[in-house]
Amino acid sequence: MSPYEHFFWNYAFFFRKPWAWKVGVGGLLPDLVYGIAFLPKLFFYRSFMEWMHDPLWDTLWNSLMARSVHSLVVWGVSLSLLWIIANRATFNHIYPFIIGWGLHILFDAFTHVSDGYAIFYPLSGIQFRAPISYWERAFHAREYFLISHTVMAVLILLWIGWKLKRFLKRSPKISSGP
């Protein structure tokens, strides 16, 4: 799915936790491979589909870097290494980012079809193909976009309402004093 959706859903799952933003940011990390490479070209596409059909996608998608960061095996090894090497405080500080990275791999597994990743790379090269794609119209991309963005909009409104309620509940204490 697209980077902002990764951030959104990762954050949404942990929205009550003060470190939810770390899980959100962790969800952005794997796609930095694409983000950095596309950044200088991004403003020169005439349409979304022209961008989606740039051969650079394939080059990056096939790269060792993109394969590695979209592998649950590499993810699991990284998490284990961090747990072994880092002290308790450092581990606690960093692991929400790693959780976000892992969720990115899982969400991608359900939203990519022809460009699905081998999630057990390098142990297995078998590509994971979901029934729905976030960008391929032949695989319900339009419907996916509509549903995903409607749900996100509703959740954002609920979240604002929840924040407002908490804020209003808290504010009388400030005015009530001796």
Query: Contact residues for Zn ion (CB under 5 A)?
Result: 30-31, 108
Q: Please name the residue that has the structure tokens 């604002």.
A: 160
- State which residue, 22 or 105, has the beta carbon closest to Zn ion: 105
Q: Which of 92, 73, 80, 81 is nearest to 19 (CA)?
A: 92
Place of tokens 């961008």: 51
Amino acid at 33: V
What values do phi and psi take at 18, rounded to 5? -65, -20
Instruction: State the minimum distance, in angstroms, from the CB of residue 84 to Zn ion.
Output: 26
Nearer to Zn ion, 11 or 31 (CB): 31
Decide whether 60 or 155 has the Cβ nearer to Zn ion: 60
Shortest Å, Cβ 129 to Zn ion = 15
> What is the CB neighbour count within 10 angstroms for residue 135?
20
Smallest distance from Zn ion to CB 101, Å:
10
Within 10 angstroms of residue 104's Cβ, the number of other Cβ atoms is 26
Nearer to Zn ion, 152 or 173 (CB): 152
Calculate Rg over the CA atoms of the chain: 19
Minimal distance, residue 117 CB to Zn ion, in Å: 8
Which residue blocks in the chain are alpha helix, DSSP H? 3-13, 20-28, 32-38, 48-52, 56-61, 64-69, 72-85, 88-109, 141-175
Closest CB to Zn ion among residues 95, 111: 111
Q: Smallest distance from the beta carbon of 77 to Zn ion, in angstroms?
A: 18
> What is the number of the residue whose Cβ is closest to Zn ion?
108
The residue among 72 and 108 lying less far from Zn ion, judged by its C-beta, is 108
- CB 112 → Zn ion: shortest distance, Å? 8
Contacts of 90 (CB under 8 A, 6+ apart): none
